Amino acid sequence: MGSEGYLVHQFVAARTNKRTDEWGGSFENRIRFALEIVRATREKVGKNFIIIFRISVLDLVEGGSTPEEVLQFARELEKAGVTILNSGIGWHEARIPTIGSMVPGGAFATVTANLRKAVKIPIVATNRINLPEIGEAILERGEADLVSMARPFLADPHFVSKAASGRQQEINTCIACNQACLDQIFQGKRASCLVNPQACEEKEWQDKFSVPTTKKKIAIVGAGPAGLSSAIAFLERGHDVTVFEKSTVLGGQFNLATLIPGKSDYKESIRYWKTRIELLGGQIILNHAIQDVNELKNFDHVILSSGVTPRDPKIPGQELPHVFAYDKYLREQMKPGKKVAIIGAGGIGFDVATYVLFAGKHFDDNAVEFMHHWGIDPTKKSGLDPTFKAARSPTEITLLQRSDRAFGKTLGKTTGWVHRAEMKRSGVKMVGGIQYEKITAEGLWIIHADQRKELIEADQIILCTGQLSENSLATKLTAASIPHTVIGGAKLASEIDAKRAIRDGIEIAFSL
Ligand SMILES: Cc1cc2nc3c(=O)[nH]c(=O)nc-3n(C[C@H](O)[C@H](O)[C@H](O)COP(=O)(O)OP(=O)(O)OC[C@H]3O[C@@H](n4cnc5c(N)ncnc54)[C@H](O)[C@@H]3O)c2cc1C
Ligand SMILES: Cc1cc2nc3c(=O)[nH]c(=O)nc-3n(C[C@H](O)[C@H](O)[C@H](O)COP(=O)(O)O)c2cc1C
Ligand code: SF4
């Protein structure tokens, strides 16, 4: 492991190696530690044992290697006895996203390609290779000999067999949210996966799988992440499943998430759920809002996964035409105005700010634009463009929250910093510790803690003021004595929590 800023890498990089003996100073001295480890390992394991060395191809922090040094190091590693070179991207300390959902698929493969020209041993491309097509394209372009995947195997342990047998559509795709893998690790918990809660919990789930069941007719009301993952789990257990969805599409709020720059991969989850339900013979009825629970009388059990509705903040003036709830603003893919105030700085507030910042444009599939946006230049030392200046937002954006705590506290542990950095460097104004007084044609009036009033001028005001569970059918189901269970956002509205919604959906299927 010679990358990401771990021990071996700390010897290689001048930013951390301050030694004055033969292990520090010149580049030759700094790579000596790594080379000695490889030589000693080769000597012990013999010539047929595979040694894979992860070399940092881009440091993305000050005081890293030049592109020439990376190639020189690669050649020395080859001579020392390495069998395969894997590529590492960025130190953990790098202030540039390297694996988050905003990183386009296979974004760093072109950098790995340079290594391939320098050595004869096989080279591995890495990071955000989450679809078979991305891996295939890298291999076809000759950018690497192999591709590696970490999180995609948490999302779907059958990735390889599905890809090999032409069943790509059935792959449960990693959406690079980090919410259940790295975020949990950094909270001292076991890694799992948002889209596959069984990952790394196989033993515990085995006990759930063994709960006996008899075939039932199940109705699922609401086709968001909770309802759809529940439908799959019920079908896998041999039940009859009918999914009712009031809109014309599957996926619930994930359809809004896909509109956020950096989250377009969320559509892959919807593709997976749809494919799987159809394959397992589930019935999907779109454009059908359940209003009368008598429709559900013939089902043995109803799963109420009807999600959430935006919370009404009751700010005087919010009925004015330049005020929008976040769902309407996104669903209608509105064009940002000149001055936009966003009320509420939770996960959705930050996402909406990102949407406004990028004016709804995505570069999710464009590695060149991504690198340009973050100041990555693989031809420069450390992979950093020394002249880089982040683009300022063409829209004047103010993100507001009532709480006086730091902004973005509710965001993911390993991704929150990216969102905060994005806002800061683009000039988004963040105003906290305030009350909302009223909205007028000029904008939003706020009251500061010291009672000072201020007008935040805005030609668009977006309400991201939380959500309420939409479970009005539950009382009707109880009154009609129809067995039912409420799951996901309908059970507990907590903004961005597809992790819980999906787990809820699967758990109920394995307990009935
Ligand atoms: C912009 C945005 C970004 C997000 N990003 C993330 C993220 O990165 N990570 C994360 O964990 N979460 C994220 N979320 C939140 C995530 O989408 C929700 O936690 C999740 O969708 C909740 O799933 P659910 O199935 O409970 O509800 P929903 O997704 O709300 O689905 C409920 C479904 O029920 C349908 N419905 C309602 N009533 C009826 C009825 N009577 N009859 C038939 N159908 C009905 C609705 O039309 C809807 O399709 C984001 C949300 C938004 C808006
Ligand atoms: C739970 C988890 C643990 C990881 N641990 C390591 C590690 O110990 N060493 C390492 O080099 N990379 C580690 N990584 C990073 C992966 O090797 C990989 O570089 C990264 O996840 C990006 O690739 P992916 O998009 O295929 O996940 C870890 C990733 C995850 C999700
Ligand atoms: S939790 Fe998110 S990032 Fe981690 S493996 Fe699952 S889908 Fe991928």
Q: How does pLDDT run along the chain (512 residues), one tens digit per residue? A: 999 999 999 999 999 999 999 999 999 999 999 999 999 999 999 999 999 999 999 999 999 999 999 999 999 999 999 999 999 999 999 999 999 999 999 999 999 999 999 999 999 999 999 999 999 999 999 999 999 999 999 999 999 999 999 999 999 999 999 999 999 999 999 999 999 999 999 998 888 877 778 999 999 999 999 999 999 999 999 999 999 999 999 999 999 999 999 999 999 999 999 999 999 999 999 999 999 999 999 999 999 999 999 999 999 999 999 999 999 999 999 999 999 999 999 999 999 999 999 986 778 889 999 999 999 999 999 999 999 999 899 999 999 999 999 999 889 999 999 999 999 999 999 999 999 999 999 999 999 999 999 999 999 999 999 999 999 999 999 999 999 999 999 999 987 899 999 999 999 999 99
The reply to whether 190 falls in a domain is no
Q: Same domain for 499 and 422?
A: no
Helices (H) and strands (E) in the chain, counts: 19, 19
Q: Which residues pair with 136 in a beta bridge?
A: none
Q: What is the DSSP string of 157-180?
A: TTHHHHHHTT-GGG--------TT
**Count of CB atoms situated within 10 Å of the CB of 44:** 8
Q: Same domain for 172 and 267?
A: no
Q: Same domain for 31 and 149?
A: yes
* Contact indicator for 431, 396 with CB cutoff of 8 Å: no
The reply to whether 431 falls in a domain is yes
Model pLDDT, residue 62: 95
Model pLDDT, residue 473: 98
Nearest to 426 by CA among 330, 370, 356: 356
Query: Which among 177, 195, 229, 254 is the best mutation to test ligand 1's pocket, defined by most ligand atoms within 8 Å of the CB?
Result: 254
Q: Same domain for 438 and 291?
A: no
Report residue 360 as tokens: 């709804």
* CB distance 99 to ligand 3 below 6 Å: no
Distance of CA 203 from the midpoint of ligand 3 (Å): 19
Model pLDDT, residue 240: 97
Q: What is the pTM of this model?
A: 0.95
Domain holding 38, by residue range, is 7-185
Q: Same domain for 228 and 332?
A: no
The reply to whether 50 falls in a domain is yes
Q: Same domain for 248 and 155?
A: no
Q: Same domain for 329 and 407?
A: yes
The reply to whether 371 falls in a domain is no
Residue at 348: amino acid letter: I
- Within its chain, how far is the Cα of 476 from the centroid? 37
What is the helix (H) or strand (E) element at residue 36, kind and residue range?
helix 32-45
Residue at 155: amino acid letter: A
| DSSP three-state, residue 381 | helix
Q: Same domain for 178 and 78?
A: yes
Nearest 5 degrees, angle CA 447-CA 453-CA 456? 85
| DSSP three-state, residue 390 | coil
**Which residues contact ligand 1 via a Cβ below 6 A?**
177, 179, 221-227, 244-247, 252-254, 256-257, 260, 289-290, 305-308, 330, 348, 351, 470, 473, 488-490, 496-499, 501
Model pLDDT, residue 361: 75
The reply to whether 368 falls in a domain is no
Number of structural domains (the chain) is 3
Query: Which among 126, 131, 159 is the best mutation to test ligand 2's pocket, defined by most ligand atoms within 8 Å of the CB?
Result: 126
Model pLDDT, residue 360: 65
Distance of CA 236 from the midpoint of ligand 3 (Å): 22
Model pLDDT, residue 181: 98
* CB distance 276 to ligand 2 below 6 Å: no
- Within its chain, how far is the Cα of 274 from the centroid? 20
Q: Same domain for 305 and 449?
A: no
- CATH code, domain carrying 503: 3.40.50.720
Ligand 1 atom at minimum distance from 228 CA: 25
Q: Same domain for 154 and 38?
A: yes
The residue among 185, 202, 236 that closes a domain is 185
The phi, psi pair for 43, rounded to 5°, reads: -60, -40
The reply to whether 192 falls in a domain is no
**Count of CB atoms situated within 10 Å of the CB of 291:** 11
Model pLDDT, residue 210: 79
- CATH code, domain carrying 345: 3.50.50.60
The reply to whether 1 falls in a domain is no
In angstroms, the CA 383 to CA 296 distance is: 59
Q: What long-range pairs does 66-74 form, CB within 8 A, spacing at least 24?
A: 66/380, 66/381, 66/382, 67/114, 67/378, 67/379, 67/380, 67/381, 67/383, 69/27, 70/114, 70/115, 71/114, 71/115, 71/118, 72/27, 73/12, 73/27, 73/31, 73/34, 74/115, 74/118, 74/119
Pairing of strands 443-448, 301-304: unpaired
> Could you write out the three-class secondary structure of 393-438?
CCCEEEEECCCCCCCCCCCCCCCHHHHHHHHHHHCCEEECCEEEEE
The reply to whether 336 falls in a domain is yes
Q: Same domain for 36 and 22?
A: yes
Q: Same domain for 296 and 340?
A: no
